[in-house]
Amino acid sequence: MILHDYHRSSAAFRVRIALNLKNVAYTALAWDLDQHAQRTASYLEFNPQGLIPALEDGAPPLFQSGAIIEYLDEKYNAASLLPDDALGRARVRGIFQQLICDIHPLTTRRVAKYLDEQFAATAHEVIQWRRAWVLEGLQVLEKLLAVSPHTGRFCHGDTPTLADVGLVPQVVSAQTLQIDLKAMPTISRIHANCMQVAAFRHAHPDNCSSSPHLAPQAESTQQPWEPQLLHSHGLSQVTRLIHIRPLQHRHVIRQQL
């Protein structure tokens, strides 16, 4: 199983959490979004959307983090990410979609690029744009979580669900934007509980960095969608193949988590 990944992609972060919760070994192929590697012809041939993540587990490849995560949940029975009851599943999906459909899309690199190119927005203005939408969305979610009797140690009950898989990357994004979460005690508590779970900690960008400052150990000239992959044999041995160059001649680094 191959995850097309980047450590600072919130969408890929969600998929890494789900893979870890399911205890599924995988190989991570990291594309440097800062170098626009996902917009090269080679990646666009593989994924015409030019977005991260993508998952290869046979053919065809899977796109969109929500679809990938539900695929994993259906394929691997352990640690179900959805409650048993219909109302519970609807609530969890609603929280997840609020995070990944209402908040996250407004804060992506594509939106920032458009604001810059079409409206000459400064870097500061783009940050303020992102902060406004993240803050508004999380404030609404805080109210929903705080009043619901279904909220437990996690977003729904006392075990992690799809909702928590969506929440943690968004909270990390809020922290990066220096948003004060003190006024959101329920979200802060749930996030803290999630970070006590190894599956969430190991998926955190700080723990799976694909930063290009790392010294290369090997070099490949194969097409980016056909790399020489090293398959992992457990979550403690996730193999990360890191693209340092967005073009065909790129370095690949092997990094053990």
**What is the DSSP annotation of the chain?**
-EEEE-TT-HHHHHHHHHHHHTT---EEEE--GGGTGGGSHHHHHH-TT--S-EEESSSS-EESHHHHHHHHHHH--SS-SS-SSHHHHHHHHHHHHIIIIIIGGGGSHHHHHHHHHHH---HHHHHHHHHHHHHHHHHHHHHHHHH-TTB-SSSSBTS--HHHHHHHHHHHHHHHTT---TT-HHHHHHHHHHTTSHHHHHHSGGGS---TTSPP-EEE-S-TTS------SSGGG-EEEEE--SSSSEEEEEEE-
- Choose between 164 and 244: higher pLDDT: 164
- Stronger pLDDT, 238 or 7, i.e. the higher one: 7
Average pLDDT of every residue of the chain: 84
Place 114 in a pLDDT band, splitting at 50, 70 and 90: very high
Q: Is the pLDDT of residue 199 over 80?
A: yes
What phi and psi, each to the nearest 5 degrees, are found at residue 30? -95, 130
Predicted confidence at residue 34, as pLDDT, reads: 84
- Is the pLDDT confidence value at 232 over 70? no
- In the structure, what pLDDT confidence band is assigned to residue 201 with cuts at 50, 70 and 90? very high
Q: Report residue 86's pLDDT band, with 50, 70 and 90 as the boundaries.
A: very high
CA 191 – CA 143 distance, rounded (Å):
15
Tokens of 60: 């065809």
Q: Where along the chain do its domains lie? A: 2-78+204-256, 86-203
In whole angstroms, give the CA distance from residue 91 to residue 87.
6
Per-residue pLDDT at 242 exceeds 60: no
3-state secondary structure 204-229: CHHHCCCCCCCCCCEEECCCCCCCCC
Q: What pLDDT, on a 0 to 100 scale, did the predictor assign at position 224?
A: 39
- Binned at pLDDT 50, 70 and 90, residue 150 comes out as very high
pLDDT tens track for 35-54: 888 888 988 999 999 999 99
Superfamily of domain 2-78+204-256: Glutaredoxin (3.40.30.10)
pLDDT confidence of residue 220: 36
- Give the model's pLDDT for residue 138: 98
pLDDT value at residue 241: 54
Q: What is the mean pLDDT of residues 67-85?
A: 95
The second-level CATH assignment, the architecture, of 86-203 is Up-down Bundle (1.20)
Angstrom distance (rounded) from CA 91 to CA 5: 28
Asked whether the predicted pLDDT for residue 9 surpasses 60, the reply is yes
pLDDT > 70? residue 219: no
**What pTM does this model have?**
0.83
Contact 46, 54 (CB under 8 A): yes
Q: How confident is the model at residue 82 (pLDDT cuts 50, 70, 90)?
A: very high
Q: How far is CA 137 from CA 32, 72, 112, 200, in A?
A: 28, 27, 18, 22
Q: Which whole number is the average pLDDT over 20-32?
A: 93
